[in-house]
Structure 1
Amino acid sequence: MSGGQQLLCLAAVMAVIMTLGWTWQRRQRNAGIVDVLWAAGLGAAALLIAATGRGALLPRALLALLGGAWSWRLAAHLWHRVRGEAEDGRYQHLRSHWQNSQARFFLFFQAQALLVVLFALPFVAVAANPEPRATIWTVLAVLLWLGSVALEAMADRQLAAFRADPNQRWKTCRTGLWRYSRHPNYFFEWVHWFSYVALAVGSANAWLAWCGPVVMYVFLRWISGVPYTEAQALRTRGDDYRAYQRSTPMLFPWFPRSDAHRSPR
């Protein structure tokens, strides 16, 4: 398949999947399923595009392996939260703001289907790469993937352990990686997308791979990541989170400006 055909096929599949997800959230009143389907959809996109691409076997095999494994880990993590917890506060806020308008939720789910297609552009570049042998870029891609996905998983585990402690309710996680960044999971998620930039080196349309880290940074920093998460944190944790904002870098990990382990008295 050509890249355009791959993306059209993916768009049709994701429209159906997100419609099913929208139906599920109507029954369960938990829109968090959209995050699970977004992550799983990108894994499916990596497998589909790798299988139908016209490039060499090695970059396509690595795309299927790395993209699929990243997707499986993230989707499983998100599904555990959706299944075991109440609807995320961000979606509760949207449900209240939209007065539970199912038409708006449907459009929201379909917008996420389109985002899967957008974020699949790096996969198209990798699957068209004609380089049949491993290069320094291949090694760099694998190392970037291993490091970023491992650290993202660590951040997720640290936050999950903190949230599971009833004594920490309404408090802010300041342990582990969360001492050095308010959103270490987002940071390492962003870094992970550079893996596909490296894998695409040698492809005629390698520039498409830059859509991953560039678009992901824009969404995390200004649209759906940090702004929504921090707004919800301020609603629920107030002054404790404001102190965390003052002491701890927002995204790029660095040493806190004060002892981030201490909460204001």
Structure 2
Amino acid sequence: MTFMMSNFLAVTGLSFVAVVLMMTVTAVEGRRQGRVSVVDTAWGLGFVVVAAVAALVGDGPLWRRLVMLVLVAAWGLRLSSHMHRRNAGKGEDPRYAAMLADQPGDPFLVAVRKVYAVQGLAVWFVSLPIQVSASSGRGLPFVAVIGALLWAVGLAFEALGDRQLASFKADPSNRGTVMDRGLWSWTRHPNYFGDSCVWWGIFLVAASAWPGVLTILSPVAMTYFLVFATGARLLERHMAERPGYQAYQQRTSYFLPRPPKRSVSRG
């Protein structure tokens, strides 16, 4: 069994249409609620939709299509559920508010152009390993196993980091302080680091069969989003003025986990 370009075009075309429809529904719901942050819930679901399309339309080995669907669904549904619970009953996310502030034109159309369309394209592009894998041949299963293991490490890191942060925020005595315990003492963004591992793992599953390795720009793009664009860097700007955060930055790794520094040097 070899890679079938015609089948890939069907998978990627239907995936693109499905993502456009989903982001359209998300934009309408965001307008109804008066907040763009509903897109955070749709983000993970978008990948699940693509994985479902790939599993149904692809003609690659059934085992790999099902593995992809399970991995992506477990990650995406957990993330969407977490984001929905976190944002429920709250107003606009300050990061989106800052992004859309003072923009000329209709606010809804600006949000469509700067948020919904951008995130929809990002979902489609980052999910290319899933799409290509669905149309690829048999490949090397042991590479897929390595990818699944890396995915498991990433999901555990992400889920545990989110749980630790939620528990920290639920304690009134921690109000106004910086979370620097558990995984958060090893990296300032354990959830984003875990997210990155998840997508490099999914890439390896795709790379187990030609031409999945050619989709390497997808996990690179996801890692870039997480580290420099809409993820960690944007959150750092938002947190910069919080008391104690600069000291936390000095003793804790930015992204890659490492043991925390024992003390902060003072000049």
For residues 16 and 207 of structure 2, the distance between their equivalents in structure 1, rounded to whole angstroms, comes to: 26
Q: Counterparts of 1:30-45 in structure 2 under 5 Å?
A: 30-45=35-50
SS of corresponding position for 1:2: helix
Query: What is the aligned partner in structure 1 of residue 214 from structure 2?
Result: 208
Query: What is the aligned partner in structure 2 of residue 83 from structure 1?
Result: 88
Q: Which amino acid aligns with 1:59?
A: R
Query: What is the aligned partner in structure 2 of residue 5 from structure 1?
Result: 10
The reply on whether 1:123 has 2:130 as its aligned counterpart is: yes
For residues 103 and 201 of structure 1, the distance between their equivalents in structure 2, rounded to whole angstroms, comes to: 38
Compute the TM-score of the two structures, normalised by the length of structure 1: 0.89
Match of 2:112 among 99, 106, 110: 106
For residues 202 and 17 of structure 1, the distance between their equivalents in structure 2, rounded to whole angstroms, comes to: 30
For residues 203 and 20 of structure 2, the distance between their equivalents in structure 1, rounded to whole angstroms, comes to: 27
1:10-64 deviations in Å (ceiling 9; x for gaps): 2222222212222222232222211111110101111111221121111111011
RMSD of Structure 2 on Structure 1 (CA): 2.1
For residues 47 and 257 of structure 1, the distance between their equivalents in structure 2, rounded to whole angstroms, comes to: 44
Compute the TM-score of the two structures, normalised by the length of structure 2: 0.88
List gaps (5 residues or longer) in structure 2: 1-5
Query: What is the aligned partner in structure 2 of residue 240 from structure 1?
Result: 244
SS of corresponding position for 1:193: helix
Query: What is the aligned partner in structure 2 of residue 160 from structure 1?
Result: 166
Deviation (angstroms), 1:95: 4.3
For residues 220 and 142 of structure 1, the distance between their equivalents in structure 2, rounded to whole angstroms, comes to: 20
The reply on whether 1:16 has 2:56 as its aligned counterpart is: no
Deviation (angstroms), 1:259: 5.2
List gaps (5 residues or longer) in structure 1: 261-265
Match of 1:29 among 34, 55, 59: 34
SS of corresponding position for 1:130: coil
For residues 9 and 152 of structure 2, the distance between their equivalents in structure 1, rounded to whole angstroms, comes to: 30
Deviation (angstroms), 1:125: 2.6
Deviation (angstroms), 1:181: 0.3
Deviation (angstroms), 1:69: 1.2
- Percent of aligned pairs with the same amino acid: 30
Deviation (angstroms), 1:234: 1.5
Query: What is the aligned partner in structure 2 of residue 263 from structure 1?
Result: none
Q: What is the aligned residue count?
A: 257
For residues 232 and 89 of structure 1, the distance between their equivalents in structure 2, rounded to whole angstroms, comes to: 8
In 2, are the aligned partners of 1:129 and 1:202 still within 8 Å (CA)?
A: no
Query: What is the aligned partner in structure 1 of residue 144 from structure 2?
Result: 138
Query: What is the aligned partner in structure 2 of residue 253 from structure 1?
Result: 257
For residues 207 and 33 of structure 2, the distance between their equivalents in structure 1, rounded to whole angstroms, comes to: 44
Q: Which amino acid aligns with 1:117?
A: W
Q: 1:141 to 1:26 in 2, by over 3 A?
A: same
Query: What is the aligned partner in structure 2 of residue 53 from structure 1?
Result: 58
In 2, are the aligned partners of 1:178 and 1:184 still within 8 Å (CA)?
A: yes
For residues 22 and 212 of structure 2, the distance between their equivalents in structure 1, rounded to whole angstroms, comes to: 29
